[in-house]
């Protein structure tokens, strides 16, 4: 589905450089189609992204609909947009979100 496809693209975009400069782990709690727990690890050497809980504790946890998530990564939504509308929540280090935005 679109969520799995998005994570495949993210996994392909993860570089050692992003991991070094970001040093953050993102966990996504997605509702709806293709939902569940997904993660992007930009802290562990090599980095990774995929389905399930991150290998280490997340620095940022974002809850949103899978539709908003896919839009956000397709650059149709700014990363902060879903959270200002109130149907999404975000916990953790805001500075890390900005570095994730750079990666997109």
Q: What are the tens digits of pLDDT across the range 16-28? A: 998 999 999 999 9
pLDDT of residue 87: 74
What lies within 8 Å, CB to CB, of 95 at 6+ separation is: none
pLDDT of residue 100: 79
Judged against a pLDDT cut of 90, whether residue 3 lies above it is answered with yes
pTM: 0.87
- Closest of 48, 24, 22, 26 to residue 37, by C-alpha: 26
pLDDT of residue 66: 94
Which CATH number applies to 2-103?
3.30.1050.10
The string of pLDDT tens digits covering residues 45-99 is: 999 999 999 999 999 999 999 998 998 888 765 656 656 666 788 899 888 887 8
Confidence of residue 2 (pLDDT cuts 50, 70, 90): very high
9-13, 29-33, 83-87 — which is least confidently predicted? 83-87
Where do the domains of the chain lie? 2-103
Distance CA(59)–CA(77), nearest Å, equals 22
């Amino acid at each position: 589905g679109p969520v799995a496809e998005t994570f495949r693209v993210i996994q392909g975009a993860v570089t050692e450089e992003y991991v070094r400069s970001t040093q953050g782990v993102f966990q996504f709690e997605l509702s709806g189609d293709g939902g569940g727990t997904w993660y992007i690890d930009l802290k562990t050497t090599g980095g990774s992204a995929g389905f399930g809980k991150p290998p280490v504790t997340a620095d940022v946890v974002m809850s949103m609909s899978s539709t908003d998530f896919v839009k956000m990564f397709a650059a149709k939504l700014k990363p902060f947009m879903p959270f200002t509308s109130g149907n999404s929540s975000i916990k953790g280090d805001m500075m890390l979100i900005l570095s994730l935005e750079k990666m997109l």
